[in-house]
Structure 1
Amino acid sequence: MPSREDILNAKILVVDDSPDNIELMEEILREEGYTNVSSTMLPEQVCPLHRQHTYDLILLDLQMPGLNGFQVMKGLKEIEQGGYLPVLALTAQPSFKIAALEAGARDFISKPFDLLEVHKRIHNMLEVRLLYKELAQYSKTQQELALHDALTGLPNRRLLEDRIATTLQHANRHHHKAAIMYLDLDGFKAINDTYGHAYGDEILKMVAQRLVAHSRKEDTVARLGGDEFMIVLGDIHTLQDAMGPAAKLVEAVSEPYFINDLTLRLSTSIGISVYPDDAESVEALISIADYALYEAKRAGKNRFCTTSAGPVEATPAPASAPVAPADLAHR
């Protein structure tokens, strides 16, 4: 639940064509302890102001020259797009009360003001509004967690498959190609076994950062789990457009990793599949990239492989001590 401090710090906008009414409402709010109050006498400013500040409560007079309160609420609905419309209608007309609720207002305050009623309705509305925002943020956070890897923050397999499908649709529409790079770390098991999983987790996070840094912004870098990653490249024209980035990634991953007082090394093997040359479905492209990855491992690791070009070895990295022992049998 929102705290009293949260409620008193909520953003409030007072809208009325009468300067006396605005002054009165600001005084009521100020005496109650509300600290973030602004006002306007121009109803046409309400929507632009709300887009800019996202108010928690709008105290809206319904009878104003030019745009009336009902017209203002219509514009606010387009901004909120089905969300919680934070409007508390102010009216001296009993017939407007139900009409205001039907138009989207969450509640109303009658004129002339009853001080106890004003305080209670404002407090209740702000409490509900802030709770609504908390729940919306919680839902967004849960959705992010469901679609991203907890350790690296990269998209997980669930989000990855959706990104691949979208990339393939775009490539098909524009008559381009797309590529999938399936990566597996060479020697990662040896690091875990020798130095522990805490060091292994640090390596995975550093690898993720390098993969993102050496990929285009429009490409998707994802972690499948364990020491397996995948990169989706869109808008390419030839296989060479995927082989160049793959070579750079092999080189980047093989650079030393400095953790505490240790210098650790490992490398990566990459399998590449190309749409539509190798396959046209998400599942088939992943399967072909996985097979190409196996071929890169079988050819000696620290290289990339495509079904058409075969394994391509990377330039060996210089030795550095202490070095994590390689587990050549581990994929």
Structure 2
Amino acid sequence: MPSREDILNAKILVVDDSPDNIELMEEILREEGYTSVSSTMLPEQVCPLHRQHNYDIILLDLQMPGLNGFQVMKGLKEIEKGGYLPVLALTAQPSFKIAALEAGARDFISKPFDLLEVHKRIHNMLEVRLLYKELAQYSKTQQELALHDALTGLPNRRLLEDRIETTLQHASRNHHKAAIMYLDLDGFKAINDTYGHAYGDEVLKIVAQRLLATSRKEDTVARLGGDEFMVVLGEVNSLADAQGPAAKLVEAVSEPFFINDLTLRLSTSIGISIYPDDAESVESLISIADYALYEAKRGGKNRFCATSASPAQMVPPPKLELVPRRR
């Protein structure tokens, strides 16, 4: 539940065409301890202000010249699509109360103001609003976790397939090609078996950082699970445009890994498939890249391979080393 401090720090907007009413409401709120209170007498400013500041509650007078409160709420609904409309209606007309609730207001305050009623209704509505925001953030976090690898923070297979599909659609529209690079680490099992999974996890996190640093911002770098990764390149013209990045990835992974007092070494093998040359579906492209990866492994590891080209010859893979790290 939101704390009292959270409630008192909530962002509040007072909307009324009467300066006396605004002054009175601001005084009520300040005396109660609210710290972030704004106001306007111009109803047409409410929506732009809410887009900018995302208020936790809007105390909205229903009877104003120009745009009335009902029209303002209609605009706010466009901003809060599928969300919680943070409007507390202010009205001196009993007949407007039900109409305000039907229009989207969460509650109302009658004029002239009753001090106890004002405090209670504002507090209760802010409590609900802030709780709703907490739940929305939690839901967003859970969704992020469902689409990203917990260890490296990279997109997982579920998000990867969607990213590949988007890349292929973009390539098709713009008459470009796309490349799928399937990576598997050489010698990773030896690290896990020799030093334990904690060291293996650190290696995986460093590999993820190196792949991101070596790739373009518009490329997708994902972890499929275990020691398997995938890099998706958009807007390539030929296989040659993927071979250069693949060579850089092989080189980046072969750099030493400094973890605690150890210097560890391993390499990577990469299989490449090209859209639409090799296939046009996500599943087929992944399958072909997987087969090319197998060929790279069979050809000696620490290299990349495409099924339509002979494996690129790289430096032989270095052996796993245990070297005291210099202090």
TM-score by length of 2: 0.95
- Check if 1:123 corresponds to 2:126: no
State the alpha-carbon separation in 2 of the partners of residues 278 and 205 from structure 1: 31
- Residue 166 of structure 1 corresponds to which residue in structure 2? 166
- Residue 328 of structure 1 corresponds to which residue in structure 2? none
Partner-residue secondary structure (3-state), 2:255: coil
Superposition map of 1:209-248 within 5 A: 209-248=209-248
State the alpha-carbon separation in 2 of the partners of residues 65 and 140 from structure 1: 39
State the alpha-carbon separation in 2 of the partners of residues 173 and 206 from structure 1: 35
Q: Deviations over 1:13-34 (max 9, x none)?
A: 1111111111111111112121
- Residue 329 of structure 1 corresponds to which residue in structure 2? none
Superposition map of 1:94-109 within 5 A: 94-109=94-109
State the 1:66 CA deviation: 2.0
Range 296-305 or range 252-261, more displaced:
252-261
- Residue 27 of structure 2 corresponds to which residue in structure 1? 27
Partner-residue secondary structure (3-state), 1:113: coil
- Residue 310 of structure 1 corresponds to which residue in structure 2? 310
- The number of aligned residues is 324
Superposition map of 1:47-126 within 5 A: 47-126=47-126
- Residue 12 of structure 1 corresponds to which residue in structure 2? 12
Range 166-175 or range 116-125, more displaced:
166-175
Superposition map of 1:168-207 within 5 A: 168-207=168-207
Superposition map of 1:264-303 within 5 A: 264-303=264-303
Residue type at the aligned position of 1:112: P
State the alpha-carbon separation in 2 of the partners of residues 313 and 63 from structure 1: 78
State the alpha-carbon separation in 1 of the partners of residues 304 and 269 from structure 2: 6
Q: Deviations over 1:272-301 (max 9, x none)?
A: 011111111111111111110011011111
Superposition map of 1:318-329 within 5 A: 322=322
Residue type at the aligned position of 2:86: P
Q: Deviations over 1:72-106 (max 9, x none)?
A: 11111111122111000101111211221121111
In 2 relative to 1, CA 323–239 (structure 1 residues): closer, same or farther, beyond 3 Å? farther
Q: Deviations over 1:2-58 (max 9, x none)?
A: 112111111111111111111111111112121111111121221111111100000
State the alpha-carbon separation in 2 of the partners of residues 231 and 307 from structure 1: 17
Partner-residue secondary structure (3-state), 1:165: helix
State the alpha-carbon separation in 2 of the partners of residues 203 and 247 from structure 1: 20
State the 1:152 CA deviation: 0.1
- Check if 1:153 corresponds to 2:175: no
- Residue 327 of structure 1 corresponds to which residue in structure 2? none
State the 1:234 CA deviation: 1.2
State the 1:321 CA deviation: 5.8
Residue type at the aligned position of 2:289: A
Q: Is the 1:255–1:317 Cα contact (8 Å) retained in structure 2?
A: no
Partner-residue secondary structure (3-state), 1:204: helix
In 2 relative to 1, CA 318–158 (structure 1 residues): closer, same or farther, beyond 3 Å? closer
Residue type at the aligned position of 1:123: H
- Check if 1:144 corresponds to 2:130: no
Q: Is the 2:85–2:104 Cα contact (8 Å) retained in structure 1?
A: yes
State the 1:320 CA deviation: 9.6
Q: Deviations over 1:160-187 (max 9, x none)?
A: 1111111112222222111110000011
Partner-residue secondary structure (3-state), 1:132: helix
User: Any gaps of 5 or more consecutive residues in structure 1?
Assistant: 325-331
